[in-house]
Amino acid sequence: MTVTEFIVSRLNYWIYIILMMIGLFAMISKKNLIKKLIGMSIFQTAIILFYVSLGVKEGSNIPILEHSVSHAAEHGEIIRAEDYANPLPHVLMLTAIVVGVATLGVGLAIVQKIHKEFGTIEEPEILAKIESGDG
């Protein structure tokens, strides 16, 4: 397998890594608090996409059985786990989405309070005001 085939065969993972790095870069390098929150949101979204893609299985069905297991056993049907997708990563990511929205909401509320207190949302200006005692 060549390097190009390796990259193309896992293109979605490379996209998630690029999104994670964009979000991490924004959180570390930006001085504006809103831009830091946007970076955090991009990072969270990339992680959610990564975990959802891990839960996908080619040719699988949703894990909802039309009949009970005992009914299937009576009629000689075999229920095989490998025929069904694992719902756990998707369910966990629903929880992660809720936590991400809550985190973003709390972060925006804190930024609003910081702006009200210091008159700016630029990190160096806030630190300068704190050091000078104007805050």
- Asked if the structure places residue 51 within a domain, the reply is yes
Positions in the chain whose pLDDT score sits under 70: 66-77, 135
Residue-level pLDDT at 68 = 65
Residue-level pLDDT at 20 = 97
- Asked if the structure places residue 12 within a domain, the reply is yes
Tell me how many domains the chain contains.
1
- Asked if the structure places residue 24 within a domain, the reply is yes
- Asked if the structure places residue 34 within a domain, the reply is yes
**pLDDT, tens digit (0-9, with 9 covering 90-100), for 93-117:** 999 999 999 999 999 999 999 999 9
Residue-level pLDDT at 22 = 97
**Taking the model in full, what pTM does it have?**
0.80
The CA–CA distances, whole Å, from 112 to 1, 9, 62, 108 equal 52, 44, 43, 6
- Asked if the structure places residue 123 within a domain, the reply is yes
Q: Which residues of 31-59 are buried (b: 16+ CB within 10 A; e: fewer)?
A: eebebbbbbbbbbbbbbbbbbbeebeeee
Q: Which residues of 96-135 are buried (b: 16+ CB within 10 A; e: fewer)?
A: beeebeeeeeebeeebeebeeebeebeeeebeeeeeeeee
Task: Provide the domain limits for residue 96.
Answer: 3-57+85-132
Residue 23's CATH number: 1.10.287.3510
* Rounded distance between C-alpha atoms, residue 56 and residue 80, angstroms: 17
Coil, strand or helix at 86: coil
- Asked if the structure places residue 14 within a domain, the reply is yes
Residue-level pLDDT at 118 = 94
- Report which residue type is found at 11: L
